[in-house]
Amino acid sequence: MSAHVLIVVLFGAVLAVIGFTMAFRQAFVRRLLGRSRRSPSQLSQGNGDEDPSTYILRIAGIMIMVFGIALGGMMTLFHTA
């Protein structure tokens, strides 16, 4: 494989890891962003039972992860075809 293909595949792998971390390791991402999870007393005052940032991190994380996998996979497939 040429260098530009490896760079794009590596970038796709990095995106996949970042997306996975955002979606499934939310406590780590919250610490990086400096945001803590709401306390149960704050959650009971709101409309829902969950913290809204949970869903934001899940959706954005899955989107970034799939984009990284698709980018790396397509580049590899087009190069090997």
Residue 28's domain comprises 3-37+49-80
CB contact set of 25 (below 8 Å; sequence gap of 6+) = none
Is pTM beyond 0.85? Reply is no
Residue 57 is assigned to a structural domain of this protein = yes
Residue 54 is assigned to a structural domain of this protein = yes
Residue 44 is assigned to a structural domain of this protein = no
**Predicted pLDDT of residue 24:** 93
Among candidate residues 53, 71, 58, 77, the one with its CA nearest the CA of residue 15: 71
Q: Based on the structure, what is the number of domains in the chain?
A: 1
Spell out the per-residue pLDDT of the chain, length 81, in tens: 789 999 999 999 999 999 999 999 998 999 988 877 666 565 556 555 577 888 999 999 999 999 999 999 999 999 987
Question: Which DSSP state fits 34?
Answer: T
Residue pLDDT, tens place only, 52-73? 888 999 999 999 999 999 999 9
Residue 43 is assigned to a structural domain of this protein = no
Among candidate residues 5, 17, 26, the one with its CA nearest the CA of residue 78: 5
